[in-house]
Amino acid sequence: MSVLAEGMAGSRPRTPAGRAVAALNRTVIHVFLAFVGLLWLVPTIGLLVTSFRPRSDIQSTGWWDIFNLHLTLENYSQVLQAQGMLQAFLNTVFIAVPSTLLPLGICAMAAYAFSWMRFPFRDTLFLIVVGLLMVPVQVAFIPVLTGMRELLPDLQLTRGYGAVWLAHTAFALPFGIFLLRNFFITLPPDMIEAARIDGASDVRIFRMIVVPVSVPAIAAYGIFQFLWVWNDLLMALVFVQDSSKFPMTRAIQNLLSQYGTEWHLLAAGAFLVMIVPLIVFFSLQRYFVQGLLAGSIK
Amino acid sequence: MGVAPQGLELTRDYRSLTGGKTAARRAGGPESPKWGATILFLAPATLLLLVFLVYPAVYTVLLSFNRGRNGIFNEWVGLDNYARLFADPDFLNLGTFPPSGALWNNVLWLVFYVSIVISLGLIIAVVAARVRYEALLKAIVFIPMAIAATALAVIWKFVYSPDANIGLINALLGAVGIAPIPWLGDQGIVNFALIAVGIWGSVGFATVILSAAVKSIPAEVIESARVEGATERQIFFRMILPMVSLPISVLAVTLVVNVIKLFDLIYVMTAGGPGKASQVIAFTMFQQAFEAGQYGYGSAVAVVMLVLLIPIMIFNVRRFRTGSVT
């Protein structure tokens, strides 16, 4: 129970007039919260309902006309096959999985060094990492694309996923190192020192102690990074240049510019990009909220 | 193992007391760093940060003083890109009323998005704390945080549709006899329509952060104020508000960063239109560099973004140094 709710229950008014005022206040609160709930649910539900309605229905009546409701999966099959959204879904997976696992490993290693290894200028270097958090991705676009074109033309990194993997990984590092270091440093020093005294190497301490006991923090960061990449449009616009490799966000953007009023396609497409984050949200809500809250500094 | 360390400062003290040099000496371990292991752990991160962040940032700053055709240094132009940028009415036009341009639109976002997200988040957090379905309500408001800005854009293009058979808002207006309003097609309305979508997307985040902050206020403090006859309004403004000011400042910084980096939502919903009415700086950077091929000019816009973020960079580093971030 929350503080304020207890407060309400504790100060029960004694006079009939006081009770009436309290009841009115409670009614106002419920009405307000119901309004908030509807405002946040209705737009999404409207699009969800639309994604199952036949094209002809969508154009003749609004989705809220529930007396005239016919449902179909036709929109989804059309958008998945004819519009290539199935391929785009797979492309999103191909982009998101390495762009999550790579930074996870690299950040955990660097965070370990910044929390439990001794080397000169350690804290200064860490403050530089904190500073790099605020460097916008935009400053990397032109030099990285130019560099890939001029210095490594044979690799054709923007034709495949190489460029987008590397860019996502690099720009995930400042935040990931920051977050994991702040978690690692709260581990009991005795635990690390005891392992050192027993002759364990840093690699061993990292793999056998620090990573296993930090699974919740690493999971929260992993979920945050996965959804960040899954939902990204900008990096894919810049670093994925082969249209057969576009992720869903780009495919939807293309749908929108080609068929701006074909809502049966757009609604189904939008739900396909939303489905994985929604599953993650409802199944791993605690990690998810933690990851996002911690990610607020990004 | 004793008491688990809580904050950063405590952790440092704790470590210097029990670990650190003393333990190393006791164990006969090496005092000097183990270079091999250090390099192994730091090399991948350092290499990527240098190649993809540090070097490009320097390159972009230098390129902003160049014509930069094809992204290569070919013609030094001094401050010309910046002069052109700030003379461009599409970037910033203070000569009309109301002012216009991409940078001005970011200012609009800054003023309305940041203040409304924080106030609405606080109101919902405080009010929802009084009902049993608080967790459900917070989850509902938080859902947009999980969704791609691209999908948010589709949802709201749908809600805003000028066709009263499609767009809910214009259908509701039609029911009370008001003609459809082109929310995204009118230069005077479009920015506010977009800001409303941004607010819808971020309030859940503010609610969750502020809800935690409000609940950290001890129950007795509020209870004793109530017993002594404080009104709910007084409790809110004199007690709750001052005690959540630190989380609010952290939240405000986050939202300001969101505004400076804002891109996906604008690109998908309006592509900066109608005309150029809803452009923002990140959009201008993308368009100048990749659609107009003006790499030097685009670099200047990226540098403006970087400069706008530097105060926040300093804020974060300072905050971290004083140890309030843990």
**Tens digit of each residue's pLDDT (9 = 90 or more) over A113-138:** 999 998 989 989 999 998 999 999 99
Q: Residues 6 or more apart from A185 whose CB is under 8 A from it? A: A115, B8, B11
Q: Please indicate whether, in this complex, the C-beta atoms of A36 and B137 are within 8 angstroms of each other.
A: yes
> Distances from the Cα of B77 to the Cαs of B65, B67, B71, B208, B292, in angstroms?
6, 6, 14, 49, 18
Lookup: tokens for B181: 């309003």
Task: Report the percent of chain B where pLDDT is more than 70.
Answer: 89
Query: What confidence score (pLDDT) does residue A282 get?
Result: 85
Residue contact A274–B151, C-beta within 8 A: yes
Q: Which of B52, B126, B209 is closest, CB to CB, to A140?
A: B52
Identify which of A47, A120, A142 has the shortest CB distance to residue B299: A142
B260-267 mean pLDDT? 95
d(CA B111, nearest CA chain A) in Å: 19
* Helical packing angle, B295-321 and B245-261, nearest 10°: 170
Partner-chain residue, chosen from B146, B148, B326, that has the shortest CB–CB distance to A249 = B148
Using CB atoms within 10 Å of the CB of residue A29, give its burial: 0 to 12 exposed, 13 to 18 middle, 19+ buried: middle
Which residues in chain A are contacts of B162 at CB distance < 8 A? none
Q: What does B241-289 look like in DSSP terms, one character per residue?
A: HHHTHHHHHHHHHHHHHHHHH--HHHHHHTTT-STTTT--HHHHHHIII
Which one-letter DSSP state was computed for residue B144? G
Least confident of A152-166, B30-44, B150-164: B30-44
Say if the Cβ atoms of B53 and A140 lie within 8 Å.
yes
Instruction: Lowest mean pLDDT of A57-66, B97-106, B250-259, name the range.
Output: A57-66
pLDDT of residue A65: 82
pLDDT at B16 over 70: no
Q: Which residues from chain B sit within 8 angstroms of residue A182, using beta carbons?
A: 8, 325-326
Q: Chain A: residue nearest B210 by CA?
A: A293
B156 or B28, higher pLDDT = B156
Q: Select from B139, B268, B295 the Cβ nearest to the Cβ of A233.
A: B268
- Please tell me the distance from the alpha carbon of residue A7 to that of residue B225, in angstroms, as a whole number: 10
Per-residue pLDDT at A29: 92
In terms of C-beta density within 10 A (0-12 exposed, 13-18 middle, 19 or more buried), how is residue A59 classed?
Answer: middle
Residue B17, pLDDT above cutoff 60 = no
Q: Mind telling me how many Å the CA of B75 is from chain A's nearest CA?
A: 16
Q: Look up residue A200 and give its two tokens.
A: 């364990």
| Mean pLDDT, residues B12-41 taken together | 54
Nearest CB neighbour to B150, from listed A130, A201, A273: A273
The distance of B97 to chain A (nearest Cα, Å) reads 30
pLDDT tens figures, A148-162? 888 888 778 878 899
pLDDT at A297: 55
The mean pLDDT of A230-258, rounded to a whole number, is: 93
Contact B236/A222 with Cβ under 8 angstroms?
no
Distances (CA, A) of B311 to A131, A238, A251, B37, B317: 10, 27, 36, 35, 10
Give the CA-trace dihedral at A252, A255, A257, A263, to 10 degrees.
Answer: -100
User: Residue range B110-128: average pLDDT?
Assistant: 95
Reply yes or no on whether the pLDDT at A10 is more than 90.
no
Within 10 A of A151 (CB to CB), how many other CB atoms are there?
Answer: 8
List, for residues B84-116, the tens digit of each pLDDT value: 999 999 999 998 888 999 999 999 999 999 999
Question: Structure tokens of B18?
Answer: 């029990």
**What pTM value is reported for the model?**
0.87
Using a CB–CB cutoff of 8 Å, tell me whether A47 touches chain B.
Answer: yes
- Both tokens of B253, joined, read 């910084």
Give me B9's structure tokens: 């400062």
| Residue percentage of chain A with pLDDT more than 70 | 92
**Is residue B52 a contact partner of residue A171, using CB atoms and an 8 Å limit?**
yes
CA distance linking residue A218 with residue A224, whole number of Å: 10
Q: Are the Cβ atoms of A44 and B40 closer than 8 angstroms?
A: no
Give the CATH architecture of domain A78-297. Orthogonal Bundle (1.10)
Instruction: Judge: B23–A266 Cβ closer than 8 Å, yes or no.
Output: no
Rg for chain B (alpha carbons), in Å? 25
Q: What is the pLDDT of residue A220?
A: 87
Instruction: Check residue A99 and give its pLDDT.
Output: 97
Domain(s) labelled CATH 1.10.3720.10 in chain A stretch across 78-297
**Domains of chain B, residue spans:** 55-96+295-326, 102-278
Any idea which residue has 């959204």 for tokens? A85
Residue of B nearest to A241 (CA): B290
CATH architecture of B102-278: Orthogonal Bundle (1.10)
* Residue B149 CA neighbour count, 13 Å, CB half: 22
Exposure class string for A203-224: b at 16+ Cβ within 10 A, else e: eebbeebbbeebeebbbbbbbb
Cβ of A256 within 8 Å of Cβ of B157? The answer is yes
Does A242 contact B at CB distance below 8 Å?
no
Separation between Cα atoms, residue B323 and residue B326, nearest integer Å: 7
pLDDT in tens, A167-210: 999 999 999 999 999 889 889 988 899 999 998 899 999 999 99
Give Cα A78 to chain centroid, integer Å.
27
Which among B145, B150, B158 has the least Cβ separation from residue A253? B150
In a mutagenesis test of the A interface, which of B49, B142, B286 is the best target, namely the one with the most A β-carbons within 10 Å?
B49
DSSP B1-63: --SPP-SHHHHHHHHHHHSHHHHHHHTT--SS--HHHHHHHHHHHHHHHIIIIIHHHHHHHHH
The reply to whether residue B33 touches residue A118, judged by beta carbons under 8 angstroms, is yes
Cα–Cα distance between B67 and B75 in angstroms, integer?
5
pLDDT at A13: 61
Of B48, B208, B299, the CB nearest to A106: B48
CB–CB of B290 and A238 under 8 A?
yes
* pLDDT greater than 60 at residue B285: yes
